[in-house]
Amino acid sequence: MSNKKEKVTLKQSLKNNKFILGTAFKSAPGLCIMRLVTGFLTGLNHGVVIYLTSEILNALDRRESFEAILWKIATMAIYLLAYQLFYSWHWKQYNPKRKLRFIRDLHKRFFVKASQIDLSSYDSPEFYNDFVYSMETCDKSIMNTVDTLAEIIRCLVASVSVFSVVMSVDWIIALVILGFSIASMIIHIIENGIWYKYEQFFSKIWGKDWYISRFFSLADYAKEVRLTRISENMKDEFYKNKTEERRLIIKRQREFLVLNVIGSLLNITENAFIILFMSYHLMVTHTILIGGFAIAITSASKMRGMFAELQWRLAEINKQSVFADKVRRFLEAEVKIISGERELHSFESIEFKNVSFAYQDKMVLENVSFKINKGDRIALVGYNGAGKTTITKLMMRLYDTTEGEILVNGVSIKEYRLDMLREKIGAVFQDYKVFAATVAENVLADVYTPDKEQIVINALKDSTFGEKLNALPKGIETELTREFYNDGTELSGGESQKIAIARVFAHNNELIVMDEPSSALDPIAEYNLNVGIDKNARGKTVVFITHRLSTTRHVDMIYMLENGKIIESGSHDALIRDGGKYADMFNLQASKYKASEP
């Protein structure tokens, strides 16, 4: 995470917090209302306890009957018991139970949103950061906002109730207490400002520390640490960093010291004034009772505490609004790839008509036109970055074209139901992924049931994973990756690629896209894989993206791309005969093979 502090205006802060509260109330109205009610009652409790205590003291002072005093004590005991029962029920029973339900439902909502957002959203680093942050912290940040609001209500209600009780004793002392509380709050605000100012320097220092610690502990740097003198530089940097940290701490503490002295002087003055003033009225003018004296003394420290808390809670809600903003942007992110209504039952053809496409501002495809009919096998070839993968992403409607259109069975791709379109396509991506699940679940990309055993095994055999499968401890039920299980199996790059290919073989897709399917395989596995592809893709439409000319030789049509344009197309033989760029690429590859022959 960057150290850059993000700031929001008050208006934005209110808007963000309103949004988050709305989200929380929509997801769990009972939980939120109860949380705010608890804040209110806890605040009120401060005033009630002071009032009831003073009533007992006053009764004693007035020498009321023992029975009358007993009633007052009993009233207070019943009140305290009722309050405590409610408090315990809320925090030990209701809140934890409802909070878990809230977290579960909220995560579900976030998962659905995450799987719906456009792939293009991942291309914006800013959105991507918000997205990751929102997913990781949604429950905490949303609940924190409700909690902070409840605490603000508590502080406000406590301050008002305590102030009212003091007012009932003496208005001068009430105003004095209020004045001193505001002064002490201002000191806290200044103190916070100092924290904030220094935190910015410290986060830079700690960032450097963290990097240097990783430098010495991570395997990635182990070779450089041993072979070069870079570690000396790192050590010097570390000492310099620590010296700077020490200098800043001393400077900061000096500023705090001044504030602490002022704060303590204010407290002493306030207490001395209250004691003198109240003693005078208690002993000389006899206008107050001992209960009033007690109220004034207790209320002063209560009010100071509440005002101090109020200011940091308000600062907290402002800080949280930066995070609330990320959650809001994520939840409000507009989905641009909207599903059509038309059903797609079979796949007859796909046609690109003058298609151009740009990722944000960068044009990567220009005026691309071609048509693939059912059962065709085509290959997209060209150097890295030519736009081959982008073409396949457009076929799956992971992105929409910037210009031109794509027709499926002669109808715009946008008119079809997205789920039906994507169901028809099976893809092995270049950056294939293996999930933390069993081999069978990875192949099916779905829940495994025993009736699917043969489908899974056949798919794995055809993707040349058979030998490895025999060596796995629990066969197709072996857990992959160590994310969840310490004894989970980690696969090599080539083995993972075979799992990804088996995923396509296990599904009856009508259009198969294979983006460099053999990039991580050795030549023998590649040969066997081609046999597997032949078997599984018989009668299906296949789009290969490949540099391997062993594949392009056998396809019906080759499209050679350069800088986002189709520059040549035809069969392998025709393109070799033409002697263009494809022929150059092929001859270069063939000559390398020949040169490496013994």
Reference 310, options 459, 148, 420; nearest CA is 148
Residue 386 lies near ligand ADP (rule: CB under 6 A): yes
The least CB distance from residue 579 to ligand ADP, in Å, is 23
Tokens of 6: 């993000």
Q: What are phi and psi of 481, to 5 degrees?
A: 70, 160
Residue 146 lies near ligand ADP (rule: CB under 6 A): no
Written as one string, the DSSP assignment of 232-274 is: HHHHHHHHHHHHHHHHHHHHHHHHHHHHHHHHHHHHHHHHHHH
Residue 359 lies near ligand ADP (rule: CB under 6 A): yes
Residue 43 lies near ligand ADP (rule: CB under 6 A): no
Q: Choose which of 331, 364, 396, 407 interacts with ligand ADP (CB under 6 A).
A: 364
Residue 548 lies near ligand ADP (rule: CB under 6 A): no
Written in H, E and C, the secondary structure of 172-238 is HHHHHHHHHHHHHHHHHHHHHHHHHHHHHHHHHHHHHHHHHHHHHHCHHHHHHHHHCCHHHHHHHHH
Taking the C-alpha atoms of residue 448 and residue 480, their distance in angstroms, rounded to an integer, is 14
The least CB distance from residue 126 to ligand ADP, in Å, is 13
Taking the C-alpha atoms of residue 514 and residue 155, their distance in angstroms, rounded to an integer, is 62
575 residue type, one letter = L
Residue 361 lies near ligand ADP (rule: CB under 6 A): no
Judged by CB under 6 A, which stretch of 8-16, 155-163, 183-191, 385-393 contacts ligand ADP? 385-393
Site for ligand ADP in 108-137 (CB under 6 A): 123
Residue 336 lies near ligand ADP (rule: CB under 6 A): no
Taking the C-alpha atoms of residue 138 and residue 489, their distance in angstroms, rounded to an integer, is 31
The least CB distance from residue 390 to ligand ADP, in Å, is 3
Angle CA 276–304–286, to nearest 5: 25
The least CB distance from residue 233 to ligand ADP, in Å, is 34
Residue 23 lies near ligand ADP (rule: CB under 6 A): no
Contact 564, 366 (CB under 8 A): yes
Residue 401 lies near ligand ADP (rule: CB under 6 A): no
Residue 394 lies near ligand ADP (rule: CB under 6 A): no
Q: Which residue has the tokens 């910037």?
A: 402
Judged by CB under 6 A, which stretch of 309-317, 387-395, 418-426, 474-482 contacts ligand ADP? 387-395
Residue 380 CA to its chain's centroid (Å): 36
User: Residues in contact with ligand ADP, total (CB under 6 A)?
Assistant: 12
The least CB distance from residue 263 to ligand ADP, in Å, is 54
Q: Choose which of 384, 449, 486, 596 interacts with ligand ADP (CB under 6 A).
A: 384
Taking the C-alpha atoms of residue 594 and residue 598, their distance in angstroms, rounded to an integer, is 9
Q: Choose which of 223, 254, 345, 362 interacts with ligand ADP (CB under 6 A).
A: 362
Residue 387 lies near ligand ADP (rule: CB under 6 A): yes
The least CB distance from residue 131 to ligand ADP, in Å, is 14
Residue 517 lies near ligand ADP (rule: CB under 6 A): no
Contacting residues toward ligand ADP, per CB under 6 A = 123, 359, 362, 364, 382, 384-390
